[in-house]
Amino acid sequence: MKVDGTHYRTIWLTADDPSTVEIIDQRQLPHRFVVEPLRSVEDTFTAIKDMLVRGAGLIGATAGYGMYLAALQADESRLLEEMVRAGAYLKSARPTARNLGWAVDRMLAAVVELEAPATIRETSLATAAAIADEDAEFCRLIGEHGKTLIQDIARTKPGDPVNILTHCNAGWLAFVDYGSATAPIYAARDAGIDVHVWVDETRPWNQGSRLTCWELGKEAINHTLITDNAGGHLMQHGLVDLVIVGSDRTTRAGDVANKIGTYLKALAARDNDIPFYVALPSSTFDWQLVHGTDIEIEIRSGDEITTIAGLAKNGTIESVRLAPDSVEAANYVFDVTPSRLVNGLITERGILAAEEAAIVELFTDKITDTRSLHVTG
């Protein structure tokens, strides 16, 4: 997507130095646009854990390039062994986004039968680049499929904008390009449809107010920032036509882990008869899991709740304390929306019901461990 007229992806190889990967430090947005180099698997681990990069798709793409950096760093006599160790290390950076483990496993599968170090390194780079390219292309396709939902609503209210509510940031900053939840919005805008987006601020890390608002602003999409608690009120007053959110991990039965607070939006949407869709590339499906309650939910430091960072009047980014010094804070960062509250999943292959039979039918070729399948319905 464009930043002040220049096209950016969220991760790329340095043009004249193939041993360095570059990313945008998302902790500094929207106040500063800072590009950071990653030169080692340790840099990559820190970038994922400390959320310089975040969002399921981008975490996966970053892990892919991290495995390539591991291949460059490793002692040639134990290259594969060291890549396996790097994979386990990277997987431990954050637990919930499925794309992280998926990308590491894909990188290892690509090299496991190879012997020559030069071939392992070349294949690692080609596979990391393929993961990134595929992520961008899948998000573009999600946009094309999801656009039809917005078009259908636009036809019912000529002259009025389609009001879409989104939670967190499932935009291009959470992927390599386009985003998942935002891709249909960009595609609808490009098709001449008048769209307006309600952006949940998404406490405590504020992915909505800091990142989604920044992204939509750069793309000149009409949007309004709201508090996380405002969505139900807007829905009761007919001000939301459609909810589209992303996902960090979706079970093969269609239960959706996404940023904390998503479940409450799904409940409010169901109570108000508003369609609730989840946009995700197939790399976010966890084919081994059926029940969303089995998804590991990340718990981050309580400091993310008791303090807040922002731009001070003197132009520096400062953190200030919100809660009493001694307070105990529990920072659960994802929740699970059961499939029964999801009207449909928007994927690169089309829109489908959030049901095991439909998911398995559309993605049979992606499900490697067929022994674990037990299709219901």
Closer of 33 and 236 to ligand MRU (Cβ): 33
Whether the CB-CB separation of 93 and 49 falls below 8 Å is answered with yes
Q: Which tokens in the block code for residue 46? A: 């820190």
Q: Tell whether the torsion through CA atoms of 343, 235, 180 and 66 is positive or negative.
A: negative
Burial class (CB in 10 A: 0-12, 13-18, 19+), 203: middle
Closer of 48 and 67 to ligand MRU (Cβ): 48
Minimum gap (Å) between residue 353 Cβ and ligand MRU: 20
CA distance 130 to 133: 5
Residues 29-58 that bind ligand MRU (CB under 6 A): 54-57
Stretch that binds ligand MRU, among 29-37, 76-84, 241-249, 321-329 (CB under 6 A): 241-249
Interface residue with ligand MRU, options 20, 258, 337, 339 (CB under 6 A): 258
Closer of 335 and 356 to ligand MRU (Cβ): 335
Closer of 79 and 215 to ligand MRU (Cβ): 215
Minimum gap (Å) between residue 116 Cβ and ligand MRU: 36
Q: Which tokens in the block code for residue 208? A: 């909505």
CA distance 266 to 263: 5
The residue to which tokens 């001000």 are assigned: 239
Closer of 117 and 302 to ligand MRU (Cβ): 302
Catalytic residue among 135, 177, 248, 286: 248
Count CB atoms within 10 A of the CB of residue 101. 18
DSSP states along 306-335: HEEEEE-TTS-EEEEE-S-TT----EE-EE
Stretch that binds ligand MRU, among 7-15, 124-132, 166-174, 217-225 (CB under 6 A): 166-174
The residue to which tokens 């012997």 are assigned: 115
Q: With CB under 6 A as the rule, give the number of residues binding ligand MRU.
A: 17
CA distance 48 to 39: 14
Q: Does 62 bind ligand MRU (CB under 6 A)?
A: no
Q: Does 163 bind ligand MRU (CB under 6 A)?
A: no
Interface residue with ligand MRU, options 204, 246, 254, 338 (CB under 6 A): 246
Residues 191-230 that bind ligand MRU (CB under 6 A): 207
Whether residue 248 lies in the annotated active site? yes
CA distance 332 to 321: 19
Q: Tell whether the torsion through CA atoms of 53, 231, 255 and 246 is positive or negative.
A: negative
Instruction: Give catalytic residue positions.
Output: 248
In the complex, the residues that contact ligand MRU under the rule CB under 6 A are 54-57, 168-170, 174, 180, 207, 245-248, 258-259, 333
